[in-house]
Structure 1
Amino acid sequence: MVRRIREIHTDSRGAYGARRTTEKLRSLGRVVNRKRVARIMREREITGITRRKSWSLTKQDRTAPPAPDLIP
C-alpha cells in the first residue's frame, strides 16, 4: 500500500494529498479508507502541495510621491 501511495504522489509531482490519493486508489480497485491513507502519509512525511499562483491586482506607482502624514 505504501508503495502505491508513493507512486501516486510522485506521478502527481507531489500535489496529491490524502483525499485525492484515496480517490485514485479506489479508482484502481483498492478498498481503502481516507483516514488510513492520511495516517500512512503522515507517518512517512508525504504531504501534498498547492500549485496556485498568488495574484496581485494592485500595482504600486513607484513614481508617485508618498502620502502626507496627517497625524500631528
Structure 2
Amino acid sequence: MGDVLMFNFSAFLNDKFHSPHEVVRLLRSYNVKASLQEAAVAKWFQRGTVPGAWFAVLLSYLELEEGAPVRLAKYIKGTPS
C-alpha cells in the first residue's frame, strides 16, 4: 500500500503569509468582514490546518495578489497508492 497524500498546510501558511497577522491583513485588504480573528488564524498555524472554506478564500485572494494561480504541488507530500 502506498503512502497517503497529505497537503502540508504548515509550509503553505509559512511560505505565503509568515504569520497569522498577514492572513488577517490580506483578508481585510479585500474587505472580508467575516468574524475571523487573528487568534483563530494562529490556531491554523499551530495545528497545521486550514478549514476548507477559508482555504478556498485564501487561494482566491492570493491569486489576485500574485496575478496567477497559486502553485500548490510543492505542498503535497506522499505518493498516490
Classify the TM-score, shorter chain.
Answer: 0.3 to 0.5
TM value normalised by structure 1: 0.37
Q: Which has the higher contact order (CA 8 A, sep 6+)?
A: 2
TM value normalised by structure 2: 0.34
Greater helix proportion = 2
Greater strand proportion = 2
